Structure 1
Amino acid sequence: MATPTAHVKRIESIDILRGLVMIIMALDHLRDYLHIDANLHDPLDLLATTPILFFTRWITHFCAPVFVFLSGASIYLQSLRKTKKELSIFLLKRGLWLVFAEIFIVSFGVTFIPFYNFLFLQVIWAIGISMIVLGLVVHLRFEVILGIGLAIVLGHNLLDFPEAAVGFKPNLLWEFLHKGGIEKIFGITVFMFYPFVPWLGLMMLGYCTGIFFTSKFSVEQRKKILLQLGFGLIATFVIVRFINVYGDPLPWAKQQQPFYTFLSFIKVQKYPPSLLYMCITIGPALLFLASIEKVQNGVTDVLRTYGRTAFFYYLLHFYLAHIICGVAFFLRGHTWHQAFEAAKAFPFLFQIGGEGYSLTVVYIVWICLVASLYPLCKWYDGYKTSHKEKRWLSYL
């Protein structure tokens, strides 16, 4: 059992990786808002996509699982300077705050529809609920938490079989826990993109992995363990995916072109995150953590800043991306009336299916958006560092 200490050195490699996935995440959201094909086709649809569009979407699959996994690792590191009771209370309060933020801050940023008749339960919701549950089970022994996490991650795809049965109709609780879906609740359309149970399992495994970032392990030992785990997860993905029976509800299939067969092979389910989805995203992430710890240069300094201000960045980037979408909407000659008329069919203000720009434009705007947020993140990071006595800052 971890003993609280007065000071625990911050692991900068975690911040660097978190910063990297936050930057990549903004690309996906800008593609949703600006790309001409965003509201017409799934970029992972092998019948409608192109390789560059496929990988523009696929690379962002790393963002949510890495963010959740690193949240768990950070919680374990917090356990070294908090008592179990203090950590439990903190997780319960922060989890509730994140659920509130998802519903009342993030959902509005996503839609810009002021009536709150559309809610999106995404990664912040999943992290919030997972923190609440972890706040309750953190009193259990380390081995028990590890066992629960493994059971969820390794076994939750067993639920794919009853879900695939003809006539299966999930109830509301089932959708919240595992399948996800779109439901009307008290007149509000709720998009449950992140049913939280698989994400909870991933956070628990991240929590348990946090032990390797403590003083119990040297840098060399940690690197060796992370490399073994990372390569092990990638090997597991390749072997289990090749067998094509378990681990993801969408089997891969041979395509007319060999390269598209490869794309089918790596196309795995995110909603909810399958076992193989978690293997192919967390595996490379662990390899990155193993390789980046001793690297210090201008690039890692920038990534570290984004990583240390991740939630602050997350909130700002959604609003800025949607504002850019709105400006582009009006520059194309549309009116406010057209904006609200279009929103009746598609719950995002300033978007009309089939309108938008090329991927080149999306990439240019992405680079500009990320760069424009850096000064704010740098300022906020400095403010947090110099005002550690302000406890509310730990929630943002």
Structure 2
Amino acid sequence: MEDVGLNQGQVFLSQNVLITPKKGDTYKSSRLSALDLQRGLIMCLMAFSHCRDYVSSVPNKNLSWNSPLIEQNISSLDFLQKSLISLVAAGGFYMMMGIGIFLLWQSRIKDGVNPKTIRNYLVCRGFVLVTVQFTVLALFETIAEGQFYLYVGVLFSLGICMMMAAWVMYGVELLKTKSWFGFSKIEYWLPLSLGLIIILFSHGVIWSNHHYNISPDVLQIALLLGGEYHTPMFFIDINFTPFPWFPSVALGLIIGKIVTTKKEKAWAPLCALAFIFLTIWFVIRTANIQGLFFFGDYKTISPNSAPLTWQSYMSISKFPPSLTYFLWSWSINLLGIVWWFKLEQIQPKLFTSFKALKIFGQNALFFFIGHWFIYYGLSIALPYHLTTLTGIITVWLIGLIILLPLCKRWYQFKSQKNKNSLWRMF
């Protein structure tokens, strides 16, 4: 979740002093700022969703692959939260992690670092994410639930995907040394091929299970579908399975290549790509809802069900992510990145007013860990559940106000550490 593409050439705050990039680094700094701001924005939106879960009634999310296509009794707030947060944030985290991995890889290759060393570093970072999921966050969930609660969440999946991306980039470096790959577009087609294979395989497994009425086995639940397991003593909840999310990281690797190749002109292909994704999403969802075909999402139309509505366009499988989920999330996040980049070019003074988002984006993992404890603590302090949007927004903003100075201090602390330090991984 942290931008692994940050390096010593970027503008950073160290001991409250602004370090200015060298001449010629302007676009590089701008480019990374756009990533930080988009990441910071979706971190804040994610925090709103989790804040609402704790301080108010839990909204009807309907995000699982086996939940109904029909949206019933969904409020306007629930629909907006689902469309602009639940179906956007996670896909953006994975995509921007892929971009950051590509930028870090290229930066260290230019510094003369051995590809095997970079691969091992990224694998280590992935292992750190997995470890945090099953230690710090496992402890938090156990405290919050009042029983042993093993939540297989986003850090587990991000960590595995980071390890996979490290091996993909290492494979790219090896293949580039072969004469028959020397002038190919391997940095594009290798991630693209792997992403498509995973998407098609996931759709094939779920379609086969549904068509032949086969119950998922343990491996499918653990690595693909997810699910819950309850006993009187403990609770296991597998939400973010690793492999279905890798296509978003693969796209991030491709976008990283586009950004480093096109430089200041990169915003145009990214914007075009966003609208292409959005168009394909609309066509597939329309066909799904009309019953023309079911490829693209895992939810099916139930016989004798209530009439479908325009809200059914957003009734998409997030757990595991379907093709339509990816298309929606990718398009919104790409448009966000382009928006931030163009805003800095057109309105630099207005751009600087979003400094808080940049700080959150530069400390995404620290923010992610901290926001659970802060919003749970605030929910305990409340005498009753909140029912008004004004009350929920107030608590959400209080949480962000608490997180902002903590993130600033953390950034100053980790910026003083060696770039290979464990602390920099947070």
* Distance (Å, rounded) in 2 between the aligned partners of 1:293 and 1:255: 45
* Distance (Å, rounded) in 1 between the aligned partners of 2:391 and 2:142: 22
Secondary structure at 1:138 match in 2: helix
* 1:71 maps to 2:111: no
- Contact map agreement 2:141 2:150 (CA 8 A) in 1: no
Identity of aligned residues (%): 22
* Distance (Å, rounded) in 2 between the aligned partners of 1:289 and 1:20: 10
Q: What code does the residue aligned with 2:256 have?
A: G
* Distance (Å, rounded) in 1 between the aligned partners of 2:61 and 2:332: 24
Name the structure 1 match of 2:279.
235
- Contact map agreement 2:98 2:165 (CA 8 A) in 1: no
* 1:160 maps to 2:206: yes
More off after superposition, 276-285 vs 359-368: 359-368
Give the TM-score, by structure 1 length: 0.83
- Contact map agreement 1:179 1:271 (CA 8 A) in 2: yes
Secondary structure at 1:268 match in 2: coil
Moved runs in structure 1, 4+ residues, more than 6 A?
252-257
Secondary structure at 1:89 match in 2: helix
Name the structure 1 match of 2:22.
none
Name the structure 2 match of 1:288.
336
The one-character-per-residue Cα deviations of 1:55-88 (angstroms, maximum 9, x if unpaired) are 1233212111101110011000011133321221
* Distance (Å, rounded) in 2 between the aligned partners of 1:149 and 1:167: 27
Alignment counterpart, residue 369 of structure 2, candidates 315, 319, 332: 315
Q: 1:89-100 residue pairs with structure 2 within 5 A?
A: 89-100=120-131
* 1:177 maps to 2:223: yes
Name the structure 2 match of 1:219.
264
Name the structure 1 match of 2:396.
366
CA-CA distance at 1:240 after TM superposition: 1.1
* Distance (Å, rounded) in 2 between the aligned partners of 1:43 and 1:316: 27
* Distance (Å, rounded) in 2 between the aligned partners of 1:35 and 1:213: 41
Q: 1:1-396 residue pairs with structure 2 within 5 A?
A: 9-10=28-29, 11-36=32-57, 38=58, 41-42=60-61, 46-61=71-86, 62-82=88-108, 83-112=114-143, 117-141=148-172, 142=187, 143-153=189-199, 155-165=201-211, 167-183=213-229, 188-214=234-260, 216-220=261-265, 222-244=266-288, 245-251=294-300, 261-294=309-342, 295=344, 296=348, 297-328=351-382, 331-332=383-384, 356-388=386-418, 391-396=421-426
Give the TM-score, by structure 2 length: 0.78
- Indicate how the Cα distance of structure 1 residues 115 and 52 shifts in structure 2: closer, same or farther if over 3 A, else same: closer
More off after superposition, 264-273 vs 114-123: 114-123
Q: What code does the residue aligned with 1:213 have?
A: V
Q: Which runs of 5+ in 2 are unaligned?
A: 1-6, 11-27, 64-69, 109-113, 173-186, 289-293
CA-CA distance at 1:389 after TM superposition: 5.2
Q: What code does the residue aligned with 1:217 have?
A: K
- Indicate how the Cα distance of structure 1 residues 6 and 386 shifts in structure 2: closer, same or farther if over 3 A, else same: closer
* Distance (Å, rounded) in 2 between the aligned partners of 1:131 and 1:150: 18
- Contact map agreement 2:61 2:82 (CA 8 A) in 1: no
CA-CA distance at 1:249 after TM superposition: 1.5
- Contact map agreement 2:240 2:319 (CA 8 A) in 1: yes
Q: Which runs of 5+ in 1 are unaligned?
A: 333-354
Question: Please, what is the CA RMSD of the aligned residues?
Answer: 2.7
- Indicate how the Cα distance of structure 1 residues 110 and 24 shifts in structure 2: closer, same or farther if over 3 A, else same: farther
Equivalenced residues, count: 361
The one-character-per-residue Cα deviations of 1:340-379 (angstroms, maximum 9, x if unpaired) are xxxxxxxxxxxxxxx5533332222112211221111122
CA-CA distance at 1:211 after TM superposition: 1.0
Q: What code does the residue aligned with 2:79 have?
A: F
* Distance (Å, rounded) in 1 between the aligned partners of 2:280 and 2:209: 24
* Distance (Å, rounded) in 2 between the aligned partners of 1:6 and 1:390: 12
The one-character-per-residue Cα deviations of 1:178-223 (angstroms, maximum 9, x if unpaired) are 11112479x7532110111111121122122111221x21312x01
